Amino acid sequence: MNFVKGKNYEGYLWARAKLPTEIFVALESTNGSVVYAEKQLKLKAGDWRRLDFDLTPSAADKTGRFAIKLKQSGSVSVGYVFLQPGSWDASRICRFARRRRRVNRSRRDTSPLRRSMVNNPEYRWKKMIGSRAQRPPYEGHWYPYSSDGWGIFDFLNLCEAAGIVGIPDLDINESPQDMADLMDYLNGAPDSEWGKKRVVDGHPAPYQLKYIELGNEERVDDDYFKKFKAVAEVIWAKDPSIILIVGDFEYHRVITNPFNFTGADSGITTLAGQQRILQLSKQHDAKYGLIYTSGRTARGPTAPWNPCSPTLMR
At 181-228, the pLDDT tens digits run 999 999 999 999 999 999 999 999 999 999 999 998 899 999 999 999
The residues, any chain, with a CB within 8 Å of residue 273's CB and separated by 6 or more, are: 220, 221, 222, 224, 225
Residues in the chain: 314
Q: Which residues of the chain form CATH 3.20.20.80?
A: 87-313
Would you say 42 and 68 are in contact if contact means Cβ atoms under 8 Å apart? no
For residue 225, the model assigns a pLDDT of 96
Check pLDDT > 80 for residue 277: yes
CATH of 87-313, one of 3.90.1170.20, 3.20.20.80, 3.40.50.280, 3.60.15.10: 3.20.20.80
By DSSP bridging, strand 77-85 and strand 9-17 are: antiparallel
**Does residue 105 or residue 263 have the better pLDDT?**
263
pLDDT band at 90 (very low <50, low <70, confident <90, very high): low
Q: Quickly list DSSP for 127-148.
A: GSSS-GGGSPPB--SSSSSB--
User: Residue 272: how many CB atoms within 10 A of its CB?
Assistant: 16
Q: Residue 80: helix, strand or coil by DSSP?
A: strand
Residues whose CB is less than 8 angstroms from the CB of residue 256 and which lie 6 or more positions away in sequence, other chains included: 300, 303, 305
What's the one-letter identity of residue 20?
A: P
- Whether the per-residue pLDDT at 146 is higher than 90: the answer is no
Average pLDDT over the chain, rounded to an integer: 85
pLDDT digits (tens, 9 = 90+) for 299-310: 433 334 455 555
Cα–Cα distance measured from residue 133 to residue 242, given in angstroms and rounded to the nearest whole number: 31
Residue 89 banded pLDDT, cuts 50, 70, 90: confident
Spell out the alpha helix ranges (H) of the chain: 87-106, 152-162, 176-187, 193-200, 222-238, 272-283, 310-313
Residue 294: predicted pLDDT: 55
Name which of 9, 147, 132 is nearest 65 in CA terms.
Answer: 9
Mean pLDDT for 90-109 is 51
State yes or no: pLDDT of 119 exceeds 90. Answer: no
Residue 245 or residue 145, greater confidence: 245
Which residues touch 100 (CB under 8 Å, ≥6 apart)? 112
Instruction: Report the C-alpha gap between 165 and 170 in whole angstroms.
Output: 16
Q: Is the pLDDT of residue 170 over 90?
A: yes
Q: Is 115 helix (H, G, I), strand (E, B) or coil?
A: strand
Q: What is the pLDDT of residue 132?
A: 86
Q: What would the pLDDT profile of 228-237 be if each residue is shown by its tens digit? A: 999 999 999 9
pLDDT above 60 (res 98):
no
* Rounded Cα distance, 309 and 222, in Å: 20
CB 100 within 8 A of CB 46: no
What is the per-residue pLDDT for 44? 96
Percent residues over pLDDT 90 in the chain: 62
Distance, in Å, from the CA atom of 149 to the CA atom of 81, rounded to the nearest integer, reads 10
Residue range 17-36: mean pLDDT, rounded = 97
> According to the model, what pLDDT value does residue 304 have?
43
Q: What is the pLDDT of residue 251?
A: 87
Q: Please report the pLDDT score of residue 186 as a whole number.
A: 97
Q: How far apart are CA 41 and CA 199, in angstroms?
A: 31
Q: Which residues contact 232 (CB under 8 A, 6 or more apart)?
A: 214, 244, 277, 280, 281, 284, 286
pLDDT of 136 strictly over 60: yes
pLDDT reported for residue 301: 34
